[in-house]
Amino acid sequence: MAETDTSAAAARPDESRRDPDATRAALQDWLAARLPDHADPDVAAVQVPESNGMSSETVLIDAVWGAEGERADHRLVARITPTDDTIPVFPDYDLASQFQVMRVVGELSDVPVPAVRWLEEDAGPLGAPFFVMDRVEGVVPPDVLPYDFGDNWLHDASREDQQRLEDTSIDVLVRLHAIADPERHFDFLAGDAPGDTSLRRHVAAQREYYDWVSRDGLRSPLIERTFDWLDEHWPDDEGPTVLSWGDARIGNVMYRDFEPVAVLDWEMAGLAPRELDLSWTIFLHRFFEDIAAQMGLPGMPWFLHRERVCERYEELSGHTPTNMDWHLVYAALRHAVVMSQVQRRAIAFGAAEQPDDVDDLIMHRATLEEMLEGRYWERVLS
């Protein structure tokens, strides 16, 4: 998952521990072993972006090699599993699953995912497993500072271009959710959490993640109260199971001319109802909007508006989103668990202090409390 708050930079080590020159040499040796004889690869440059995320490390690669008598340039990206000393956001980082999801999505749909090339599960070459995919050129809505704060390409665009980005992003979800027979094609995402439906298993897995985050003994009364709320208000009809991107937000999409050209970050992919992705898209924008409001900024309240997102999704897919109040609380809960780990990470790196109240690890604490009281959407949509 890419960073989703204005303190994200503080949750990283001060400097990358990966040396570009050593990485370039290691990748050149690795490519030589991977490619056919006489390919003679040359890794010309390796770049470690300053904006590397917290759940993996990204390395940009410029390489040249020969094939069928001609040498060609190749612009690649390596996603590298985080090591334990970086205090990962998630307990497991299943690169093989991410690689497989992207490969199958690319085969079964026209969702724009980068072409994946190689999966390396041996930690030897780079010190951790990694996979390599083609690099796509485009721009990503910024998280730090968030796009709705102003002074960036999305915020400063015309309302027409902003609407095109919103509509085409929703269309990505429609096309992703239209992949037939997801429980067969993506059976490796089923996991082993208990439950007799995909949604039950998804929530059970989220409880397991929360238990891992709170293994230091600091358990959140607000998060646990929200789990209880979800149980008490469980949907009567969960709806059909689809492939869920899991981290469905515009900050994980690369755009060109305000249309998606690459859908990125699949570490939270799973099997779940359609509304899980819709609610995450809506909530993550509201998360930024609430921060903007606290800072006295106008934000982008018209953008990714709850009602319009659902209407557009129904228009494109024929499916009427249901149980959205429930799913939006679940989205806020999922983000609360992630934020709890992000803030623990910042504390471990000396960039934040442990609060007296563990619930203050949740940046959107007030939002989640209002949601449980049934007041949040009435206030922000009025």
The HSE-up count of residue 183 (CA atoms within 13 Å, CB side) is 7
Q: How far apart, in whole angstroms, are the C-alpha atoms of residue 61 and residue 24?
A: 8
- Rounded Cα distance, 320 and 275, in Å: 10
Q: Which residue has the tokens 């397991």?
A: 208
Please state the φ and ψ torsions of residue 67, each to the nearest 5 degrees. -155, 130
368, exposed or middle or buried, with CB in 10 Å at 0-12, 13-18, 19+? buried
Taking residue 41's Cβ as centre, other Cβ atoms within 10 Å add up to 20
Sole residue written with tokens 């303190």: 7
Under DSSP, the state recorded for 189 is: G
Closest CA to 155 of 5, 298, 294: 298
Cα 286 to Cα 54, 190, 195, 302, 367: the distances in Å are 21, 29, 30, 11, 9
Backbone angles phi, psi at 363, to 5 degrees: -60, -35
Q: Is 83 helix (H, G, I), strand (E, B) or coil?
A: coil
Q: Residue 361 and residue 344: Cα distance in Å, rounded?
A: 8
247 part of the active site: yes
Choice among 94, 247, 265, 290 that is catalytic:
247
Instruction: Give the count of alpha carbons within 13 A of 72, CB side only.
Output: 7
The residues annotated as belonging to the active site are 247
